[in-house]
Amino acid sequence: MFQHYFRRAWCNLKRQQFLTFLATVRNLALISLLLPSAGLFAQAKFAPNEAWLNQYDECQDYGEVYVVKKISSACRSYQTFLTDKNGHKLTSAYRDIGDFEEGLAEFVPMQLSPQGHGLHGFIDKQGKVIIEPKYISTDRFHHGKTWVIYPADSHYGLSYIDKTGKELYKLPIQHYSNDYLIKDATIDYKCSHDTKEDVLWWRRGNLFILNFNFTPFVEEQMQRSKHVSAFKYEGKFGIIDQDLVLKVPVALDAIDVDYTYSGQGMQRVQYGDKYGYVNPSTGELIVPFDYSDTRKPTNGLFWVKKRGKWGCIDKTGKLRIPHLYDEATGFTAENRSAVAINGKFGHIDKSGNVRTPLTYDFASYYQHGLSMVRMKDKYGYIDTSSRLIIPLIYDEAFPFDHVTTRVERWWLHYELSLDGKEQFVGFSYKLKALFIIVGTLLFIWLSSLFQRVISNAAI
């Protein structure tokens, strides 16, 4: 089966180049298929019990059974059967039967879908239908599973199934609203071989497919990994797990690999101009792409922005604090976050309860039990009970990132401790600038005075 080779070619060639390439490969493929048949026909002279093979144009030997094909008109009219060694047909006529792998073979019946596409399922070597033909595209089984593609509302969906047809994982394709749409897809297959069928999307001259395949070396590296793997193709990112199950299609615009905005069990990903989160261990999408901005999580909560307002979700994606706030800071050890509505600041706890009324012109995050607040251009500090511990007397101030902080009053700088004690440490830059200006003017006046004295003495 040339399917894996075709897909790698598609991912590296322009459409016109690929069509030329495909025609050449198809011819070679037909020759390669005819050569075994020719050998069988030659052997038929010495093995009368196989003379019946002469009525078929193609034949593939799978031990106790044959897959044979009769072609009336290339690419137009053909029939494929599964037979035993004596030529007894085990199935009715199908459009195509693929290679047997792990006891099952993909097949396409004569009846097409309402849209005129082949329907794909699986049979065993007795000709019994194990998985009903209902998929648009699929592949051989590998380690007990395979992928299947099927219509899913406006998209083509991708799932992984086991050898009984049970769904193992379903890609949440509905969250990728602009990608892998049915209306944009092209379905193509190899002439007279409908099982070699794929669903294709062309974007700015580049080919995309929903079911990505990798080289054996890359597959081996992925399987050895303890975590999921992110990969990039033509500027887009996808995520695949150690079992080579695609968890995120090749559609993401960015992944927060540096964890600037991620943590605590979720990794931020970007699709278009919106953000969501995936589980960094499994690669599964936890939070859909609903948010225009996010912040690094603190104390188990994630601030996310929607329709211009900030709210909080937990690591399961559940909304914990509604989208009410124009500004918000992370939650600190004091179980407080500084928030603002219409230019007024206060604090809430992780349950969303208001703990400091939103009355201040500014309020900082809590640190060492205190928050810096501003009212009428003066700064002070409150504790977690909203009690003013250090009065609103400072012209400039900073939060208590350490056990002391810098404040300014009357153009003088102080080192301020948590108990409100001040220690003078210097002058403000404004006062220093004033000293420089006064000193410069004094120097100019003294220089002028000295020049006048020298001039009078000379007279």
DSSP per position, 324-388: EESEE----TTS-EEEEETTEEEEE-TT--EEEEEEESEEEEEETTEEEEEETTEEEEE-TT--E
Edge-to-edge strand list for the sheet holding 274-278: 254-255, 267-271, 274-278, 285-291
Tens of pLDDT, residues 286-331: 999 999 999 999 999 999 999 999 999 999 999 999 999 999 999 9
In 3D, which of 202, 237, 205, 243 has the Cα closest to residue 223?
243
Domain ranges of the chain: 1-210, 326-427, 429-459
Tens of pLDDT, residues 351-385: 999 999 999 999 999 999 999 999 999 999 999 99
pLDDT at 28: 41
Structure tokens at 187: 């379905």
pLDDT at 222: 79
Asked if the model's pLDDT at residue 40 lies above 70, the reply is no
Query: Left, alpha or beta for 153 (phi > 0: left; psi -120 to 50: alpha)?
Result: left
Give me the sign of the Cα torsion angle 139, 80, 61, 88: positive
In 3D, which of 353, 256, 346 has the Cα closest to residue 295?
256
pLDDT at 12: 39
Tens of pLDDT, residues 167-226: 999 999 999 999 999 999 999 888 999 999 899 999 888 899 998 777 777 778 777 887
| CB of 357 closer than 8 Å to CB of 386 | yes
Pick the most confident of 340-344, 439-443, 450-454: 340-344
pLDDT at 182: 96
Tell me the residue ranges of DSSP E strands in 89-192: 94-101, 104-109, 120-123, 129-135, 137-138, 145-152, 155-162, 167-170, 186-190
Pairwise CA distance, residues 241 & 333, whole Å: 36
Q: Which SS3 state, helix, strand or coil, does residue 212 take? A: coil
Q: Which SS3 state, helix, strand or coil, does residue 409 take? A: strand
